[in-house]
Structure 1
Amino acid sequence: MACGLGPMSRPASANVLSQQAREDNMERRKVYELLEAPAALDYELYLQTDRLLTCQKPFDDLANADELQFQIVHQVEELWMKLMAYTIVAVDEHLRAKQAFRVTTLLGRCHRIMRMMTEQLDLLETMSPKEYQQIRLQLGNGSGQESPGFRVLLRIIPDLWQTFDAAYVSGAGRTVRDIYDHGYAHDEAYAIAEALMELDELFGKFRWHHLFLIHRSIGMGSASLKGRSVDLLQAGAKHRFFPELWDVRVEMTDEWGHDYGRVRDSIAEKASQ
């Protein structure tokens, strides 16, 4: 009886070739080269992937296996901050036009961007302190404080307050206290104020998260790449864009709770009677 190859049988040479192909596919340099291939398809051309995927260091220049992650995380952060800066300008325009729904929608977009920026910092926590130090030496004298997106956001976000104040607060014959207390109506002014408050809060959380990342990576007592103690970053983490929105809560609590220290009847005792 003729002996043929069954459907599941393969020549030994085929298995060897298959194994070699798998090894080739998983070779880091080859994967890197495939990703950097010239764009040819519509999707690649539209997104300019050939330019985008060559913005990182060449494979042979990487300080270690984690430097690619380090560069990509920070580059993505810059892209998100670019989008956020673009959106903040639109928020300001719609504030001037008193288009409240558009303002809150766009601020909601900023909130989502800030959450993603904060969450993706967690990727950097998968690096060991030793690996981080090797990459840190590649930064020259650079630091995150030199981020163009970060510096632009620090500059333009506070300006939203002047526009909001002119359109919904003093320009409307009101105070922040009116919006939150005396004339509280849960209206457009309140909704926008709370959206601004959330933006301020999320930006602060991002800065605190970044501070803890530094603490985990290099420690808080060390000098930064600029020769300054990273303890100075704590002052930035405490910064608020819209202090009026934070202060009004203190004012209301102080007024409402002037007798908080007074001993009141126990709820538990009343319930047991």
Structure 2
Amino acid sequence: MCPHSEEPAAWHDASLDFSKDMSYSDYLALDQLLAAQHPLSPEHNEMLFIIQHQTSELWMKLMLHELRAARDHIGQSLLGPSFKMLARVSRIMDQLVQAWTVLATMTPPEYTAMRPYLGKSSGFQSYQYREIEFILGNKNAAMLSPHAHHPERLAHVQKALETPSLYEGAIQLLARKGLAISAERLNRDPTKGTEYDPSVEAAWLQVYRDPTHYWDLYELGEKLVDLEDSFRQWRFRHVTTVERIIGFKRGTGGTDGVSYLRKMLDVVLFPELWRLRTNL
């Protein structure tokens, strides 16, 4: 074909002319996405640092999309679709566990060279991560403060704090299915973090002792355990990567760094589902 022909050469019958049609880059807004990396330092390794965190935020956006939908479905007693959503969130967390291995290729001198350019910015300030923690029941009103300067972000996090968590929805479902949950637990302030309740453990024990009769609730319990299992691994890999790169220095956001992150490893999202294993 003449190099000046208006028709591009055929290649495996693929469409090659997108002058009038939407292309892959158009659909994904790749020009905007790939132009969103703005290193502030002269260090080669800052691109890795930026892309690591930007891609994590994209995965977290999808997590929130799935978690909100799963919570809504559980609230409507539609467990089948919620199982797929919860399983997807667990796999996203597994993906993020592996992502830390890429950041771990950054050595302490490489990070130290770019750290002064980060100012006080820190992953601790991620409003999407805070929303994930809140929807999973690890709520703390003090964590609204880092977002007070940005009304739109604050509104997102405030709503997540005030909305009953995913696990609250599961507990309400246990009650709707006829399992005995204390009135105090059912009427608990939704802005408070999850705390162990013996009536909730007793209800889950009834489910786990007769899974055939309560199969849908039994499967929900295991999906929640899968979710927390993956979340713990994500947190642990985060701590390990941070310690590998900065040791026990304070975080850029002012936290105790690794010491703070290790404390977070002790948080249990769904306490009754873990405790019942000892009591079965």
TM-score by length of structure 1 reads 0.72
Once the two structures are superposed, what CA deviation does each residue of 1:129-162 show, in whole Å capped at 9, x if it has no partner? 1001122222111211111221110111221111
Q: Which deviates the most, 134-143 or 106-115?
A: 134-143
Over the aligned positions, Cα root-mean-square deviation in angstroms equals 1.7
Partner of 2:178: 173
Once the two structures are superposed, what CA deviation does each residue of 1:208-239 show, in whole Å capped at 9, x if it has no partner? 100000110011x3222234322021111221
1:86 equivalent to 2:114? Answer no
1:217 equivalent to 2:223? Answer no
TM-score by length of structure 2 reads 0.70
Structure with higher Rg: it is: 1
1:95 equivalent to 2:74? Answer yes
- 3-state SS of paired residue (2:104): helix
TM-fit CA distance, 1:62? 4.2
Contact 1:62 1:68 in 2 (8 A): no
Distance 1:146 1:84 in 2: 17
Distance 1:45 1:77 in 2: 22
- 3-state SS of paired residue (1:126): coil
| Number of equivalenced pairs | 208
Give 1:114-263 correspondences, 5 Å limit. 114-158=93-137, 159-167=165-173, 169-174=174-179, 175-181=203-209, 183-185=210-212, 187-219=215-247, 221-230=248-257, 231-252=259-280
Q: Which deviates the most, 222-231 or 64-73?
A: 222-231
1:44 equivalent to 2:25? Answer yes
Distance 1:122 1:224 in 2: 20
Once the two structures are superposed, what CA deviation does each residue of 1:250-273 show, in whole Å capped at 9, x if it has no partner? 223xxxxxxxxxxxxxxxxxxxxx
What amino acid sits opposite 1:97 in the alignment?
Q
Contact 2:124 2:253 in 1 (8 A): no
Partner of 2:89: 110
Go from structure 1 to structure 2 and tell me whether the alpha carbon gap of 1:105 and 1:228 turns closer, same or farther (over 3 Å shift): closer
What amino acid sits opposite 1:53 in the alignment?
L
Once the two structures are superposed, what CA deviation does each residue of 1:187-210 show, in whole Å capped at 9, x if it has no partner? 010111100111111111101100
TM-fit CA distance, 1:41? 6.2
Partner of 1:268: none
Distance 2:253 2:93 in 1: 26
TM-fit CA distance, 1:104? 0.8
Flag as ranges the 4+ runs of structure 1 deviating above 3 A: none
Distance 1:143 1:63 in 2: 20
- 3-state SS of paired residue (1:248): helix
% identity of equivalent residues: 30
Distance 1:41 1:189 in 2: 45
Higher helix share: 1
Return 5+ residue gaps in structure 2 as ranges.
Answer: 1-20, 138-164, 180-202
Contact 2:120 2:254 in 1 (8 A): no
